[in-house]
Amino acid sequence: MKSDNRTLEIRSLEKYYSHGEQKIAALDGVSLAVDKGDFVAIMGASGSGKSTLLHLIGGLTNADRGEIIINGTDISGYGDHDLTLFRRNHLGFVFQAYNLMPFLTAEENIKLPLLGKKVTDSQLEKLLDRLGLKDRRHHRPDALSGGEQQRVAIARALITEPDVLLVDEPTGNLDSVAEEDICQLLRQLCDEQQCTIAMVTHEPAVAFAADRVHVLSDGKIVDSFATSECDNEAELAVKYQQIVHQQKQLTKTR
């Protein structure tokens, strides 16, 4: 059923890579729907296709088949120029490596995606305040902790008010305290500001912040479940491992 609230819809997405004679299906018919304000986590073993999926949603590579519809716009047929414009206006990215400009302050980094466009002072203040960066705004990245650098990266992704925030292993370089802090922040952004988030992670503790987990295996979504089915991250880890194990058994018997 189509929801009017749907921010992201992926239909039968396929992506192949060639290794010599061999053709590898990185994505093999992935379909997914995310409503406004929903937070989904995409989990899966190494090589299951997580990054490929996020890169396709983000218009960083093209699909071989299928559709990617973001707020009603199908970007799957777009060329490089249109994809660049679409990314700039509609998507926000947060990566494991914060990718901040080392010679710019936190505030200058946050304003980078605006490309000179004005942001109102109150908009910027609100964002700095929300991300707990007010007293760090004039610091350069090397004077910030890992968690603070990731907060700056999140603020930079949010400054253009994107339709979807695409997040790739956001806590991979952080200790457990900073990890929890970033997870809480992402959760609150959904609850309070109706941010729509698609996040790739292999960490059950990080996935627990989401509303729903989709499990990828060999380029297919093989299962998905609401995180509310799990009382805590340990239960989520067990549930995820069971799905992965079941999938391995199925592959063996094929």
Ligand X SMILES: Nc1ncnc2c1ncn2[C@@H]1O[C@H](COP(=O)(O)OP(=O)(O)OP(=O)(O)O)[C@@H](O)[C@H]1O
Q: What angle do CA 85, 89, 95 make, to 5 degrees?
A: 95
Among the listed residues 67, 41, 29, the one whose alpha carbon sits nearest the alpha carbon of residue 168: 41
For the CB of residue 53, give the shortest distance to ligand X in the complex, in Å. Answer: 7
10 Å CB burial of residue 120 (0-12, 13-18, 19+) is: exposed
Residue 221 identity (one-letter amino acid): I
| Residue 26 within binding range of ligand X, rule CB under 6 A | yes
- Closer CB to ligand X, 47 or 146, in the complex: 47
Interface characters, 43-62, with ligand X (x: CB under 6 A): -x-xxxxxxx----------
Among 17, 161, 184, 232, binds ligand X (CB under 6 A): 17
Q: Smallest distance from the beta carbon of 195 to ligand X, in angstroms?
A: 23
Half-sphere exposure of 153 (CA within 13 A, CB side): 27
CB-nearer residue toward ligand X: 15 or 87: 15
The yes or no reply on residue 201 touching ligand X (CB under 6 A) is no
The residue range among 41-49, 73-81, 86-94, 115-123 that interacts with ligand X, by the rule CB under 6 A, is 41-49
Burial label, 142 (beta-carbon count in 10 A; 0-12, 13-18, 19+): exposed
Q: Is 171 in the site for ligand X (CB under 6 A)?
A: no
Helix (H) / strand (E) element for 61: namely none
Query: What minimum distance in Å lies between the beta carbon of 112 and ligand X?
Result: 26
- Residue numbers at the binding site for ligand X (CB under 6 A): 17, 24, 26, 44, 46-52
